[in-house]
Structures are given as structure tokens and as C-alpha cells.
Amino acid sequence: MSEQALQVNNLWKIFGKGADKIIGSPDADLSRADLKEKTGCVVGIKDVSFDVAPGEVFVVMGLSGSGKSTLIRMLTRLIDPTAGEIMMGGRDVVKASDSELRDLRRTHTSMVFQHFGLLPHRQVIDNVAYGLEVRGVGKKERRDKAMEIVELVGLKGYDKSYPDQLSGGMQQRVGLARALANDPEMLLFDEPFSALDPLIRRDMQNEVIRLHRELGKTMVFITHDLAEALKLGDRILILRDGEIIQVGTPDEVVAQPADDYVKDFVSEVPKAHVLTLKWVMRDPRPGESLEGPSLPVDTIVRQAARTAIASDHPIRVMDGDTMLGVVDEEDIMRVVVAEEES
């Protein structure tokens, strides 16, 4: 179990007076609105548990008010949880003392914020070096390190600028650099690209994908944008009113929405871009030809389309050497066309 990068067990956050008395009482089962009516307390996060594997990009998705920002802040106790357990780096964050917590924030995690949170009175280089500075790293050393990171995020030549001289996208690169400068085990992103315009957002998403490939850090990523979640996430957690609705890989979420809420969410997604053959394959019909080309089970439907059209025989869907099923042109067309109709 301890090889998980992050383990969250039965995490609760209730805002308001007497919040800790609610958990475990029958009131805890009330809906958010009813609880507010009855006790004046507001549920932020309700009994949430999940694991994140090392090197995984774990996306938490939900609409505003779903509790996702509260959730990520509790991971480093920027907001104190009401109850629960957060295991990270072999210790329980919830029980950590002030100095342990400070140590965790200084060395283990770093966070990127939606509105950047840069220091306007400091140059880019000193913003990036801030984490090292509070840790007590000497000026020369921290600036050298910060300089490396500034180059890594593509801000070379802007190290002497002030934040207000940079565009939004560049400011967020500074935020990203500041997070990376600590060389943390885990990066936390709180809707980092929501304030950016679409083209810049795409660039930044690609930047995150590149950095993840190069550095292999564990990431917890908050977003309200499903496309972003599908693009970046190894797994996605969908949150509503502080409760987990579904956890799964992008194709699981699209193919098997847990309820109408999620279904509504994913209805606009171009399914052929997300679903893998796993979700469209079927058992071969009696007498069907098994001469067709073979593709791995995690191939995206869209990528399989060309092969299917070119081949007269159904595609064999393989997991290693075992054949799991087949998929023909018609099966694939059904996915592509169905979404055009909706």
C-alpha cells in the first residue's frame, strides 16, 4: 500500500460552527442544502477516498462549488480538513505538526494556482526562487537553480522582468517554474489554465504533458474543463457537491458514465477521440473471418478507423498475444456517427 504517492481516506470538510460534531451523526447523510438549512454548516468535501500512484496524472474534475479547490488545498492543509486521513510521503498530513507541515510544503509538494499568486515586487527569477529562499538556500545557489528552471519552462531572457510586464500565459509559466524549482515529489495544480485564453491554454497543457514526460512527477490536477481532464489525466475523479461520483480512466468515464450527471458532462465529447477498442469490440460472430489485422486493445477508436476501412476483415483486438474480440468498420462507424447525431 505504501507505494502509493498519495492516499486519501474518508476525507471530510464541513465549513461552519460545530462542524466536527456532524460527522458520524445522521446529519452527515443529509444533502448539502438540507444540512445548511438544519445546522448552518456547509459541506465542502464529503467522505472522499482515493489513491494516486507515483508518476500518475490524477485529475479532479467538477463544476464550481463541487469542492475541488477545497480538496486540493486540504492536501497540503492550506485548508484544514474536518476529518480523515491524507497519507503522503509516509506520513499523515492531517496529523502533521506545524514544522512537519512546513517541511512537507517546502520539499515534498508544490502548487500552481489559477490566479498565479506571484509576488509583484519581485523579478521573475526571485519569484521562481521563492520556495528555495524560504527553505534557507543561499542566494547564489537558489538563483542558479531558478535560472535552470526558468529556461526549462521557456522563459529564458525574461528572468529580470516583473510579473506585471508578462502576459497571462507567461505569468503562469512563472507559477509553474516556481513550483518546479523546489524539485517536489508531487505537483498540485488548481485550475491553472482557466484564466488563460484557449490557444495559450493549449500550449500550456502541452507544456505540462512535456514536463510530465521529462520529469515524471506525480501530479494532481484540478479542472472544470472535461476536455482538459481527458487530455491530461491518467485517471479522472469526478466530484459533485463534495462527493465522488466516479473515478476512472478517461475512456471509462466516457464509455460508462456512472450516472446522468456524468453522462450529461461527457455527452459533448467526441467519443471516437477518447474511447479505445475495448469499448467497441465484440465477440466474433460464428463464421466471421479472423484474417484481419490486429491492434492492441488500448488503441483509440479514431486511430483504428483507417485500418478498419482499409481491411476487408474485422480487426482482431489483442491484449498481448490473447485475442479479446473483434471490431469491424460498422462498429467503428457507429461510434463516429452516433456522436454526430447527438
Partner 1 sequence: MTATLSPPAPKPVEPGAAPPAEERTSVSRWIPAVVVLALWIVVWVFTRGDDTLALPGTSRTDLHDRLTEFQNDLLAGRSTNPLMQFTNSIADALRSAVEWLQRMIVLPNFPRPVPEVGWLGVVAIATYVGLVVANWRIALLVAGSFLSFGVFGFWQDSLDLLIITGISVLLAVVIGIPLGVMIGTSQRANQVVTPFLDFMQTMPTFVYLLPIVLFFGIGPSAAVVSTLIYALPPLIRIAGFGIREVSATTVEATDSAGQTYWQRLRKVQLPMARKTIIVGLNQTTLAALSMATLAAFVNGPGLGKPVLAGLRINDVGTAFVPGALIVVMAVMLDRTTTAASERAEKVARGGGGDVRVRRGLLIGGGIATVVAVYLSRTYVSLAEFPTYSVGDSAASAVSDAVDWFTSTFGGATEWVKDLITNQFLNRTQALLADSPWWLAFVAITVLAYVFGGVRATISTIVCLAGIWYFDLWHDAMITLNMTLVATVLVMILALVFGVWMARDRRVDLGIRPLLDAGQTIPPFVYLIPVLALFGPSRFTAITAGIVYAAPAAIKLVADGVKAVSPTTIEAGRSTGQTTWQEITKVQLPMAKGSIVLATNQGLLYVLAMTVIGGLVGAGALGYDVVYGFARSEAWGKGLAAGITIVLLGVMLDRITRAAADMRRDDGPGSRRAFNVRLPIGPPR
- Residues near partner 1, by CB under 8 A: 15-16, 32-33, 36, 42, 44, 65, 70, 73, 76-80, 98, 101-107, 109-111, 113-121, 130-131, 133-135, 160, 162, 175, 178, 182, 188
Cβ proximity to partner 1, 76 vs 276, nearer residue: 76
> How far apart, in Å, are the Cα atoms of 27 and each of 14, 20, 33, 45, 219?
12, 11, 12, 14, 34
Cβ proximity to partner 1, 135 vs 302, nearer residue: 135
Q: C-alpha grid cell for residue 101?
A: 507541515
Cβ proximity to partner 1, 20 vs 330, nearer residue: 20
> How far apart, in Å, are the Cα atoms of 285 and each of 219, 281, 296, 323, 325?
43, 12, 20, 14, 10
Cβ proximity to partner 1, 171 vs 276, nearer residue: 171
DSSP reduced 3-state for 192: coil
Closest approach of partner 1 to the CB of residue 102, in Å: 4
Closest approach of partner 1 to the CB of residue 127, in Å: 10
Q: Which residue has the cell 478498419?
A: 308
Give φ, ψ of 292 to 5 degrees. Answer: -65, 175
What CA–CA distance (Å, rounded) separates 332 from 281?
A: 9
Closest approach of partner 1 to the CB of residue 219, in Å: 15
Q: Which residue has the cell 469526478?
A: 238
Cβ proximity to partner 1, 107 vs 289, nearer residue: 107
Closest approach of partner 1 to the CB of residue 74, in Å: 10
Closest approach of partner 1 to the CB of residue 101, in Å: 6
What CA–CA distance (Å, rounded) separates 217 from 211?
A: 8
